[in-house]
């Protein structure tokens, strides 16, 4: 019963440490993992419970995934907690989600501080109830200097909303004469997005088997590896996360190049034309983890 009222004391097991060492030894870990946490409602319905019970159970999944990501040394974890479209849900469900969010923030803050987790949000958080905004601001400020995992909650977020915002900001810069239209590049757009301070996700996980991106991180997911699992979010635990990472490690990330081009560039630091230099460098560093 205790588990429904907050996290129990936690210590990573020795077995789990060994599994994590195995994962690290097996290959490169993703720097940034993004998750569409789906299936809370179905999980509850399957058990004849109200949908809120599914969201509540989903918090335990988020806790376990955050802990295990931090322990593994993942740098960024970004989760879709409340989409722009979720505002259309029944008022009762929306307010229950926000109540759960406030409870979660209060219960998890100490552990975040203890383990260097930095909390961030992306999305139109000014639309959230005042109390939720205050709790978020408090937790963000208190964790701002943490250097471990960055946990980003996407709240009242949609990829199109962020792109529109970015375009408006860039248009304003052009109108003010600060940049010309020809100066607008991928970097300009990237810098104007809510995710400007983080690398693009290497891996996107979606639970509950749906094959959609659902307006999440539209720009940032351009080259992400996708892992879809039928597991519903409240059943998702670190073992599922490890499976997704193992699958990621078996894939070859090509960024539009051929496999042969990529292997040559990585294996021998080959000469590349100036036009490709930056491009290939970014690929090599994303594979080796080293910045040149």
The residues annotated with a catalytic role in the active site are: 38, 86
Q: What is the DSSP string of 153-187?
A: EEEEE-HHHHHHHHHHHHHHHHHTTSS-GGG--HH
* Cβ count within 10 A of residue 79: 23
Nearer to ligand FPP, 154 or 192 (CB): 154
Rule CB under 6 A: say whether 100 interacts with ligand FPP.
yes
For the bound state, the minimum distance from the C-beta of residue 270 to ligand FPP, rounded and expressed in Å, comes to 45
Nearer to ligand FPP, 62 or 166 (CB): 62
Helix (H, G, I), strand (E, B), or coil: what is residue 227? strand
159 counts as binding ligand FPP under rule CB under 6 A: no
Binding residues for ligand FPP restricted to 14-53, rule: CB under 6 A: 37-42
Contact between 33 and 202 under an 8 Å Cβ cutoff? The reply is yes
Structure tokens at 156: 């009242």
Q: Which residue in the set 104, 166, 193, 217 belongs to the binding site for ligand FPP (CB under 6 A)? A: 104
Q: How far is the CB of 233 from ligand FPP (least distance, A)?
A: 6
227 contacts 247 by C-beta, under 8 angstroms: yes
Q: Is the CB of 52 or the CB of 283 nearer to ligand FPP?
A: 52
d(CA 135, CA 113): 15
Interaction of residue 117 with ligand FPP, rule CB under 6 A: no
Q: In what order do the strands lie in the sheet with 225-228?
A: 118-122, 150-157, 76-83, 32-36, 203-206, 225-228
Q: Measured between alpha carbons, how far is residue 257 from residues 190, 220, 264, 287 in Å?
A: 22, 19, 11, 14
Both tokens of residue 188?
């300009």
The answer to the question of residue 194 lying near ligand FPP (CB under 6 A) is no
Contact region with ligand FPP (CB under 6 A), list: 96-104, 120-128, 144-152, 214-222: 96-104
Among 23, 62, 122, 241, which residue interacts with ligand FPP (rule: CB under 6 A)?
Answer: 62
2-12 in b/e burial notation, b at 16+ Cβ within 10 A?
A: eeeeebeeeee
- Each residue 65-94 as x (binds ligand FPP by CB under 6 A) or -, in order, gives ----------------xx---x--------
What is the C-alpha to C-alpha distance for residues 245 and 239, in angstroms, rounded to an integer? 10
The yes or no reply on residue 101 touching ligand FPP (CB under 6 A) is yes
Instruction: Using CB positions, name the residue nearest to ligand FPP.
Output: 41
Closest to ligand FPP by CB, 37 or 203 = 37
Q: At closest approach, how far in Å is the CB of 239 from ligand FPP?
A: 18
Q: Which positions lie near ligand FPP, rule CB under 6 A? A: 37-42, 55, 58-59, 62, 81-82, 86, 97, 100-101, 104, 233
């Amino acid at each position: 019963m205790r588990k429904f009222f907050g996290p129990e004391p936690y210590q990573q097991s020795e077995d789990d440490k060994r599994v994590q060492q195995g994962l690290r030894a097996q290959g490169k870990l993703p720097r940034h993992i993004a998750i569409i946490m789906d299936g809370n409602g179905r999980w509850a319905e399957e058990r004849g419970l109200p949908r809120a019970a599914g969201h509540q159970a989903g918090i335990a999944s988020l806790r376990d995934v955050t802990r295990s990501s931090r322990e593994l040394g993942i740098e960024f974890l970004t989760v879709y907690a409340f989409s722009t479209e979720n505002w259309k849900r029944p008022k009762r469900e929306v307010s229950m989600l926000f109540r759960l969010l406030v409870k979660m923030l209060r219960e998890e803050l100490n552990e975040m501080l203890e383990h260097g987790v930095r909390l961030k949000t992306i999305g139109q958080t000014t639309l959230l109830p005042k109390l939720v905004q205050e709790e978020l601001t408090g937790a963000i400020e208190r964790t701002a200097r943490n250097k471990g995992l960055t946990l980003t909650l996407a709240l009242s977020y949609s990829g199109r909303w962020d792109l529109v915002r970015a375009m408006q900001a860039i248009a304003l810069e052009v109108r003010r004469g600060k940049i010309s239209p020809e100066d607008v590049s991928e970097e300009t757009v990237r810098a104007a997005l809510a995710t400007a301070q983080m690398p693009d996700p290497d891996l996107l996980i979606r639970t509950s088997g749906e094959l959609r991106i659902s307006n999440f991180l539209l720009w940032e997911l351009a080259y992400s590896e996708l892992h879809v699992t039928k597991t519903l979010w409240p059943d998702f635990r670190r073992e599922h996360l490890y499976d997704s990472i193992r699958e990621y490690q078996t894939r070859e990330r090509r960024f539009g190049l051929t496999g042969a081009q990529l292997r040559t560039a990585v294996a021998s630091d080959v000469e590349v034309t100036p036009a490709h230099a930056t491009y290939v460098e970014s690929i090599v560093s994303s594979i080796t983890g080293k910045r040149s």
